[in-house]
A and B are shown apart, each in its own frame.
Chain A
Amino acid sequence: MRGNQANRLNDGGLIDRSAPLNFRFDGKAFSGFEGDTLASALVANGVKLVGRSFKYHRPRGILTAGSEEPNALVELRSGARREPNTKATTAELYEGLEAASQNRWPSLNFDVMSVNQLFAPIFVAGFYYKTFMWPAKFWEAIYEPAIRRAAGLGRAAGLSDPDHYDKVWAHCDVVIAGSGPAGLAAALAAGRSGARVILCEEDFVLGGRLLADGGTIDGLSAAEWVARTVAELEALPDVRIMTRTTLFGVYDGGTYGAIERVNDHLPAPPEHQVRQRLWRIVAKRCVVAAGAIERPIVFAGNDTPGVMMASAMRSYINRYAATPARRIALFTNNEDGWRTAETAIAAGLQVAAVIDARPDVSPAHRSLASKGGFPVLHGSVSGVDGGKSGVRKISVSLTGGARAEVEADGLAVSGGWNPAVGLTSYHRGRPKWRDDIAAFVPDGAPPGMVAAGAANGAFGLGACLREGFEAGATAARDAGRSGNTGSMPVADDAAFSLTPLWHVAGKGKAFVDQQHDVTASDVELAQREGFQSVEHLKRYTTLGMATDQGKTSNVAGLAIMAAVSGKSIPETGTTIYRPPYVPVAIGAFAGHHRDENFHATRLTPSHHWAAEQGAIFVDTGLWKRAQWYPRAGEKDWLESVTREVKAVRSGVGFCDVSTLGKIDVHGPDAGAFLDRVYINAFSSLAVGKARYGLMLREDGIVYDDGTTSRLAEDHYFLTTTTAKAGLVMQHLEFCRQVLFPELDVQLTSVSDQWAQFSIAGPKTRDLLKEIVDPAEDLSNEGFPFMGAREVKLRGGLKARLFRISFSGEMAFEISVPARYGEAMARNLMIAGKPFGVTPYGTEALGVMRIEKGHVAGPELNGTTTAADLGLGKMMSTKKDFIGRVMAGREALTALNRQVVVGIKPTDKARRLRSGAHIIPKGETPGPDNDQGYVTSVCFSPVLDQWIGLGLVERGRERIGEIVRAHDPLRGEDYDVELCNSVFYDPDGGRQRG
């Protein structure tokens, strides 16, 4: 079936004519074949206009046949899978493909914004900076939204990405970027040597330029040689060939980034398959055989649809059997461009003329011209007549000054080739200029990497094979693989003669960067305005800053810059190259780490039980903790939390506190070690006792707190806050390994090994007696406040019991091996039933700690000292400890510091809010009168009003003073009283009883 593919050749090409594919572009139905890209299918269907340009909304066609494409960008797919700025030149055709052109309204053919062209004089380089200066507040409200509507690319889907992405590691000896002649030869040599090889090819077919340009290798046609080579590589045990995979970056230590488009060639990934896979490849050596990119020549009208790179035209004709034009003109400054004339004639197309900027043309090409019946014009293209329907007529300035006109519907352009120097330059490498090919080539590369073939400036087929093979063999040898590499593939080298030509003066816009609509005159203007550095040129004109990263435009821009500033191109230099080589979806970097898998989720040992109870969970770091346990009929969280607090204070409740960091400290020097990391002493702690400890940073600020128990002479059990569990472990390991290596002490993280519950309330002992073996003495004498020891539970399980209290009630914390955590929760419920046991969550825990004036995260905020927290007296004067010296600094001991104090509104009915600032009565709120702020608040069921803690200047000396709580964020301002921070049971009788 040929359908409407009027520009499809009857035979040839790497397309499967037995597999027709239907697709839609801007709603219109077309057909193509398996093996097509969207671009080649559009070419086959005679579609020339594929988009509107970024700034001027000029009609644009397809310029290239690869990932360097600046113009043919489309929105691919629809709905949640709509992907903007997709290159039609690399998007594989599939049945039912839907694509839409971008940046046009209401339609591609009739675009209202193309009037921008009439105002073109104001859209010069830096026009945003110059035009939309005043008034400043107009920028966000008016200018920017309007500009963004008018200038832009595709639209993001705006919906959650329905697909999955994978991230994987791979390790090998040699990774190779590109499967052209150099890449395949490198893979052959390395693979035969016995090296583990990964060959990455961006395209979906192996062969690189061989697919379009053919040639003879080892006496075989290019296609036969590629087939034979791929068969040999596939038979090697350690060679992995990855198509649809772009090696996009190189990172330290021989790590490479590659993006594999696993299922982008299908309408949607098959079930349970990923769309793309991000590879991190660790390789001992890397061969960059990424080829070269043909560069345009800048002339007026060079963006007219139908103007195409000469090599791209060969790709469409030879690889896809699709003819971009019927009557082709060729504009070249080098020998290689002529191949397009040969290709056109071989395909039965007309050649209108070859415009060659060089003084001489080879005899072979002269005879080609006379055989083909077309003129060879010495000179340059100075203008193109045509519009959205494509090229019609070409103006030529002949050498010597005369003018000529050529009628053609397609113009192939070759300005020479730029080696793809991205990968070799990503570690701030600067490529060097080679005059003979008028191009930048790699000048060294990151460690372990080498460029070969066209990527290294070797453009001949024979040279590509030679360099690739040698690079592959050397890489394998360097990686310790020394097998026989066999014979090197051989081919002839075509001559490459080039006369540099960057820019042809002429009337009309001549585009350097087609994707960002940067013209030659923009570059010249930037230079005149003083933007002499290429980095400034880039940012001022936005040259090379579009999604194609200037692959077809950067060097021409530099050359024009060099010409106007009277410097050479190497003196002008290049901008810094940065990965990725092609755009990589954020989704691929994220992989599976999104939504609920954005980070790991830690569940407490009693989580499933708590979920059964209907607990509301809150995220605290990675943990999900039960925040409160609502009961039927409770109208809001406050009612539930108040009930839980009252139940604890009048009966008994329990709470899973397993999220606290837990560290076993072992060794004869364990006590001495703890003395150095805490401000208070632990070597003096008796076995069987617990003590609250406070840790400082070396700069004297409080780091963390928690209780530590001495379970044996040489064994302490230390707890940290939930938030700092990992960091305290890291800090203590630093102290042990780096600061105090002489101490004989070992640390073991046991946070996940123990399930720990706080059991609190006046009936705690009654409940515990049901749990603990009757032989254990739980009386006040047998297990006094701050006691800590191992106990046997009913049934024989060993547990650790600590008589510590955060709630201010008679309380214990009990630890059982984590696997018994859920059973413990269930057991506490059963055993506690007669006493009305009530599970409570972190919210009730917080209420009770505020009522007791205990400090927590909001007060341990990285700016407070021990004295600020009211714990200054804990600081030992008899020993050295981390932070001791710096805690004595003037500013940290100043008398006017903001210190922890209790706060309650004078109007008992008023709700106190954390974050409210404390302002003295009668003063105007402002930075000068700001004396601190409210850090923690709760509704206190005991006091029947909202209370809080705050950090207030000299707060403890001002107990009883009425100040203002000023809350501009919520528009509130009310009187509060500074009070003792211990609101409940200040003498601590309840917890000791």
Chain B
Amino acid sequence: MRIVCPFCGERELGEFTYLGDAKPQRPAAGADAVYDYVYLRDNVAGVMSEHWYHGGGCRAWLKVTRNTLTHEISAVEPAAGAGAAKVGA
């Protein structure tokens, strides 16, 4: 598999580390909400938004839109805080 890193260009899978579903947002509080966030994951057969880490490159966390059936990657965008600039600055 090959991922086009927005900072480094097209790179090979071995440079990246997979984390998982990028959809759940970390809740500020609430035991149930945090439990859901930590443990409950959709097992999507199809298009999914995922977190990948470009540890073998620029160390950016990426949001990769990938079809889990075909491995087709339709979009790659940097995480909100990736890169040197502060969000909103």
Expressed in whole angstroms, the Cα–Cα distance for A739 and B87 within the complex equals 12
Binary flags per residue of B30-45, CB closer than 8 Å to A gives 1, else 0: 1100110111000000
Q: What are the residues of chain B within 8 A of A736 when measuring CB–CB?
A: 81
Partner of B38, one of A699, A739, A740, A742: A699
B2 touches A282 (CB 8 A): yes
B61 touches A734 (CB 8 A): yes
Q: What are the residues of chain A within 8 A of B17 when measuring CB–CB?
A: 730
A738 touches B31 (CB 8 A): no
Binary flags per residue of A882-899, CB closer than 8 Å to B gives 1, else 0: 000110110000000000
Binary flags per residue of B49-89, CB closer than 8 Å to A gives 1, else 0: 00101010001110000000011110000111110101111
Expressed in whole angstroms, the Cα–Cα distance for A252 and B64 within the complex equals 15
Q: Is A255 part of the binding interface, using a Cβ–Cβ cutoff of 8 Å?
A: yes
B88 touches A880 (CB 8 A): no
Supposing A447-B72, A737-B81 touch, asked if A744 and B89 sit within 8 A by C-beta, the answer is: yes
Most central of A169, A282, A739 by chain B CB within 10 Å: A739
Q: What are the residues of chain B within 8 A of A254 when measuring CB–CB?
A: 2
Q: Is A698 part of the binding interface, using a Cβ–Cβ cutoff of 8 Å?
A: yes
A738 touches B61 (CB 8 A): yes
Q: What are the residues of chain B within 8 A of A741 when measuring CB–CB?
A: 79-81, 86-87
B2 touches A740 (CB 8 A): no
Expressed in whole angstroms, the Cα–Cα distance for A698 and B88 within the complex equals 27
Expressed in whole angstroms, the Cα–Cα distance for A740 and B35 within the complex equals 19
> Measured between C-beta atoms, what is the minimum distance from A753 to chain B in Å?
16
Partner of B84, one of A282, A734, A746, A880: A746
Q: Is A968 part of the binding interface, using a Cβ–Cβ cutoff of 8 Å?
A: no
Partner of B51, one of A169, A738, A888, A889: A738
Taking CB atoms and an 8 Å cut-off, the chain A residues in 118-145 that contact chain B are none
Expressed in whole angstroms, the Cα–Cα distance for A275 and B10 within the complex equals 31
B55 touches A737 (CB 8 A): no
Expressed in whole angstroms, the Cα–Cα distance for A883 and B3 within the complex equals 31
B1 touches A742 (CB 8 A): no
How many residues in A have their beta carbons less than 8 Å from beta carbons of B? Answer: 31
Expressed in whole angstroms, the Cα–Cα distance for A738 and B60 within the complex equals 10
Taking CB atoms and an 8 Å cut-off, the chain A residues in 725-772 that contact chain B are 726, 729-730, 733-734, 736-744, 746
Query: Looking across the interface, which residue of chain B has its beta carbon closest to that of A427?
Result: B70
> Measured between C-beta atoms, what is the minimum distance from B86 to chain A in Å?
4
B53 touches A730 (CB 8 A): yes
Supposing A253-B2, A738-B61 touch, asked if A730 and B81 sit within 8 A by C-beta, the answer is: no
For the complex, would chain B's binding face be called helix, strand, loop or mixed by DSSP majority? loop
Q: What are the residues of chain B within 8 A of A447 when measuring CB–CB?
A: 72
Expressed in whole angstroms, the Cα–Cα distance for A818 and B2 within the complex equals 35
A742 touches B88 (CB 8 A): yes
Partner of B79, one of A255, A729, A738: A738
Partner of A742, one of B37, B70, B87: B87
B26 touches A739 (CB 8 A): yes
B1 touches A737 (CB 8 A): no
Q: What are the residues of chain B within 8 A of A740 when measuring CB–CB?
A: 81
Q: What are the residues of chain A within 8 A of B55 when measuring CB–CB?
A: 726, 730
Q: What are the residues of chain B within 8 A of A880 when measuring CB–CB?
A: 28-29
Taking CB atoms and an 8 Å cut-off, the chain A residues in 399-427 that contact chain B are 427
A252 touches B71 (CB 8 A): yes
A886 touches B34 (CB 8 A): yes
A885 touches B53 (CB 8 A): no
Q: What are the residues of chain A within 8 A of B78 when measuring CB–CB?
A: 737
Q: Is A251 part of the binding interface, using a Cβ–Cβ cutoff of 8 Å?
A: yes
Expressed in whole angstroms, the Cα–Cα distance for A357 and B26 within the complex equals 71
> Measured between C-beta atoms, what is the minimum distance from B54 to chain A in Å?
10
Binary flags per residue of A229-272, CB closer than 8 Å to B gives 1, else 0: 00000000000000000000001111100000000000000000
Query: Looking across the interface, which residue of chain A has its beta carbon closest to that of B71?
Result: A252
Q: What are the residues of chain A within 8 A of B26 when measuring CB–CB?
A: 698, 739
Query: Looking across the interface, which residue of chain B has its beta carbon closest to that of A171?
Result: B10
Query: Looking across the interface, which residue of chain B has its beta carbon closest to that of A667?
Result: B86
Query: Looking across the interface, which residue of chain A has its beta carbon closest to that of B3?
Result: A253
B35 touches A734 (CB 8 A): no
Query: Looking across the interface, which residue of chain A has its beta carbon closest to that of B72?
Result: A447
Q: What are the residues of chain B within 8 A of A888 when measuring CB–CB?
A: 31
A886 touches B38 (CB 8 A): yes
Query: Looking across the interface, which residue of chain B has its beta carbon closest to that of A255?
Result: B2
Expressed in whole angstroms, the Cα–Cα distance for A888 and B28 within the complex equals 15
A252 touches B31 (CB 8 A): no
A252 touches B2 (CB 8 A): yes
A885 touches B80 (CB 8 A): no
Query: Looking across the interface, which residue of chain A has its beta carbon closest to that of B54?
Result: A733
A734 touches B53 (CB 8 A): yes
Supposing A252-B71, A737-B81, A741-B81 touch, asked if A885 and B31 sit within 8 A by C-beta, the answer is: yes
Expressed in whole angstroms, the Cα–Cα distance for A144 and B12 within the complex equals 43
> Measured between C-beta atoms, what is the minimum distance from A744 to chain B in Å?
4
Expressed in whole angstroms, the Cα–Cα distance for A541 and B17 within the complex equals 40
Expressed in whole angstroms, the Cα–Cα distance for A709 and B26 within the complex equals 28
Q: What are the residues of chain B within 8 A of A738 when measuring CB–CB?
A: 51, 61, 79-81
Expressed in whole angstroms, the Cα–Cα distance for A880 and B29 within the complex equals 9
Expressed in whole angstroms, the Cα–Cα distance for A733 and B80 within the complex equals 12
Expressed in whole angstroms, the Cα–Cα distance for A741 and B72 within the complex equals 28
Expressed in whole angstroms, the Cα–Cα distance for A618 and B18 within the complex equals 31
A698 touches B38 (CB 8 A): yes
> Measured between C-beta atoms, what is the minimum distance from A676 to chain B in Å?
10
Query: Looking across the interface, which residue of chain A has its beta carbon closest to that of B62?
Result: A737
Binary flags per residue of A180-209, CB closer than 8 Å to B gives 1, else 0: 000000000000000000000000000000
Query: Looking across the interface, which residue of chain A has its beta carbon closest to that of B83?
Result: A737
B35 touches A737 (CB 8 A): no
> Measured between C-beta atoms, what is the minimum distance from A252 to chain B in Å?
4
Q: What are the residues of chain A within 8 A of B59 when measuring CB–CB?
A: 729, 733
CB<8 Å pairs between A and B, sample of 9: A253-B13, A255-B2, A282-B12, A737-B78, A737-B79, A880-B28, A885-B29, A886-B35, A889-B31
Which 3 A/B pairs are nearest by Cβ-Cβ distance? A741-B81, A253-B2, A741-B80
Q: A730-B17, A740-B81 are in contact. List 4 more A-B contacts (CB 8 A).
A: A253-B13, A699-B38, A738-B51, A885-B29
